[in-house]
A and B are shown apart, each in its own frame.
Chain A
């Protein structure tokens, strides 16, 4: 299972821009309760999914420096294919929903 610390480190490592790379925590400022709510909302629609499955789906080749670009590309492809997740009216990619779900399962932060 991916640890919370691993995931945070991965997201920091994923930084594609200097601004993000310089940030001590790529998820700084995100409301933990909100992350959990959004993640749970996605999991309500996908009740059988596990953290392991999500990790494999979101980071199939690990968390190297190109992982953020891959997530971004997956999110873009989701929008192109209509693979979306609507939360409180917001139209998000399935990839984003899965990412929030993984964070929720891990009890982020």
Chain B
């Protein structure tokens, strides 16, 4: 196994390879796995070590704020440091393993959503999604979703014209949050390949360019060692925030059209508990049959969420939306609010011809629309221990984000009611949405993919428009963010990138 501590190298060591991967997270590892055993000499430069440590994590520190119209700003200074991991395996170290492909709608250009549309379709991504599923050892997601057959896993009988569908989620064991031993093997064994070397504690602080070609990297260790790294081709894969940081800190590489760092998109969930006046987010299902398809008895197992497909989005003029259902216990002691809730659920069930239904909780998620004002920038006045400027994150929503969320909630409530399958409760006011939202660790859109260099940082092959031998991997290339956890999609895109890299001629690429 070739895993080298860069701190143990003599100072000013030159690191050379055919392909240098900056970042040993899920994308970097997947790419190295795809290239392992092949003709290319591959090296990964990873900032962290084998385990999480505070000194390396501190390099992430920055500032952040969430903004939304009609809501007080929400300071988010701890988010840049708490939402990623610097270690071999990256944020996979704390990932829960949830996997889902983006929906066909996510790839489509939707005229009612500015900046929507990917330069690749869901159908074109299918073989790469299949390979990503194989890599994570989870069942594949067919393009045409099959209906589960077990009685307890029957989908809700919503009117197809409403456009809501059961969107499946699977869980991989290859995540630090699920099976650390399995993940340890996943993140290290690929380095046994003769053509792969992993350098730990190797922080890339600058990408050097001459014209349209990348000619080298500055590598720094926290103990003071400084190295250089050189290759024919480079892949930047340090996450949706850090990709931006390194490009901007490298004399604004890729930022000719002021796009690097813009269009930051994140995922948040919306849910609340009831109070003395209103019920919280809940769905009263009218059918007697089990709801295991949506709300299995335990967490971390395959299930479906209720998703808004393209027909629903087109009809409601909204973006993607999901409701994730979960089991709840009735509140104790009984209150007027809980008694009204129980009565509403029972009455709806009786109206549907059932004796009793069941009460479920849910959290809502809505697509964060591409917004050039939602962005990552550098803070030149504050630098980390290696002299890199820290990041400022301005996570910004527009009026359309919350208006569409509310319209989607209403649309699902009406679809449930019209079908007789249930009733939905939503008591959140718009001016409290930012405060109650819970952010996930998904950072997307900041080096967006587009064929037009004036509209994207990377081209459809994930190559930087401004540099012919630098590629970007990870969720920062997503033009839109959908709802699904991004890991499976970023892995699929990385596998697609690996095919592209393998297809390029070897001799002409060597720029040394």
Q: B288 to chain A: which residues have CB within 8 Å? A: 19
Given A31-B343, A82-B414 in contact, is the A91-B423 Cβ separation under 8 Å?
yes
B278→A89 contact, CB < 8 A: yes
Given A31-B339, A76-B420 in contact, is the A96-B348 Cβ separation under 8 Å?
yes
Min CB distance B139 to A, Å, is 35
A93→B417 contact, CB < 8 A: yes
Q: A92 to chain B: which residues have CB within 8 Å? A: 344, 348, 417, 423
Give Cα A97–Cα B425 distance, bound, in whole angstroms.
Answer: 15
A68→B339 contact, CB < 8 A: no
Q: B371 to chain A: which residues have CB within 8 Å? A: none
Q: B284 to chain A: which residues have CB within 8 Å? A: 90
Does B350 count as interface, using CB distance less than 8 angstroms?
yes
Q: Which residue of A lies closest to B409 (CB)?
A: A91
Min CB distance B18 to A, Å, is 59
Q: Which residue of A lies closest to B412 (CB)?
A: A91
Given A79-B417, A88-B279, A90-B279 in contact, is the A15-B353 Cβ separation under 8 Å?
yes
Give Cα A27–Cα B348 distance, bound, in whole angstroms.
Answer: 11
Size band of the interface chain A makes with B = 35 or more
Give Cα A99–Cα B350 distance, bound, in whole angstroms.
Answer: 12
B342→A31 contact, CB < 8 A: yes
Q: A26 to chain B: which residues have CB within 8 Å? A: 350
A2-10, A33-41, A47-55 - the one binding chain B: A33-41
Min CB distance B3 to A, Å, is 54
Give Cα A72–Cα B341 distance, bound, in whole angstroms.
Answer: 20
Does B83 count as interface, using CB distance less than 8 angstroms?
no
Question: Which listed residue (B280, B343, B352) contacts A30, Cβ 8 A?
Answer: B343
Min CB distance B407 to A, Å, is 12
A91→B414 contact, CB < 8 A: yes
Min CB distance A96 to B, Å, is 7
Size band of the interface chain B makes with A = 35 or more
Does A16 count as interface, using CB distance less than 8 angstroms?
yes
Question: Which listed residue (B280, B340, B347, B419) contacts A96, Cβ 8 A?
Answer: B347
B353→A30 contact, CB < 8 A: no
Min CB distance B430 to A, Å, is 14
Give Cα A11–Cα B347 distance, bound, in whole angstroms.
Answer: 11
Given A79-B417, A82-B414, A88-B341 in contact, is the A23-B427 Cβ separation under 8 Å?
no
Question: Which listed residue (A68, A78, A100) contacts B347, Cβ 8 A?
Answer: A100
Does A75 count as interface, using CB distance less than 8 angstroms?
yes
Q: A71 to chain B: which residues have CB within 8 Å? A: 351
Q: A91 to chain B: which residues have CB within 8 Å? A: 410, 413-414, 417, 423-426
Q: A72 to chain B: which residues have CB within 8 Å? A: 351-353, 420
Give Cα A96–Cα B423 distance, bound, in whole angstroms.
Answer: 11
A79→B351 contact, CB < 8 A: no
B350→A89 contact, CB < 8 A: no
Min CB distance A102 to B, Å, is 12
Q: Which residue of A lies closest to B350 (CB)?
A: A26
Give Cα A96–Cα B284 distance, bound, in whole angstroms.
Answer: 14
Give Cα A96–Cα B420 distance, bound, in whole angstroms.
Answer: 12
B418→A76 contact, CB < 8 A: yes
Given A91-B425, A100-B347 in contact, is the A34-B419 Cβ separation under 8 Å?
no
B346→A29 contact, CB < 8 A: yes
Q: B353 to chain A: which residues have CB within 8 Å? A: 15-17, 19-20, 68, 72
Q: B336 to chain A: which residues have CB within 8 Å? A: 33-34, 37
Give Cα A49–Cα B125 distance, bound, in whole angstroms.
Answer: 58
Give Cα A56–Cα B391 distance, bound, in whole angstroms.
Answer: 66
Does A57 count as interface, using CB distance less than 8 angstroms?
no
Does A45 count as interface, using CB distance less than 8 angstroms?
no
Does B354 count as interface, using CB distance less than 8 angstroms?
yes
Q: A90 to chain B: which residues have CB within 8 Å? A: 279, 284, 340-341, 344, 423-425
B326-356 interface bits toward A, Cβ cutoff 8 Å, 1 = contact, 0 = none: 0000000000110111111011101111111
With contacts A84-B414, A92-B348 known, what are 5 further pairs, Cβ within 8 A?
A11-B350, A31-B343, A77-B418, A82-B414, A88-B341
Q: Give me 19 A-to-B residue pairs in the complex whose CB atoms sit less than 8 angstroms apart, sorted by A's number.
A: A27-B350, A34-B342, A68-B351, A72-B353, A72-B420, A76-B418, A77-B418, A78-B417, A79-B415, A79-B417, A80-B418, A88-B274, A88-B278, A88-B337, A88-B340, A89-B280, A91-B424, A91-B426, A92-B344
- Interface of A toward B, CB cutoff 8 Å: 11, 15-17, 19-20, 23, 26-27, 29-31, 33-35, 37-38, 68, 71-72, 75-80, 82, 84, 87-93, 96, 99-100
- Interface of B toward A, CB cutoff 8 Å: 274, 277-280, 284, 288, 336-337, 339-344, 346-348, 350-356, 410, 413-415, 417-420, 423-427
**Which A-B residue pairs are the 3 nearest by beta carbons?**
A89-B427, A79-B417, A34-B343
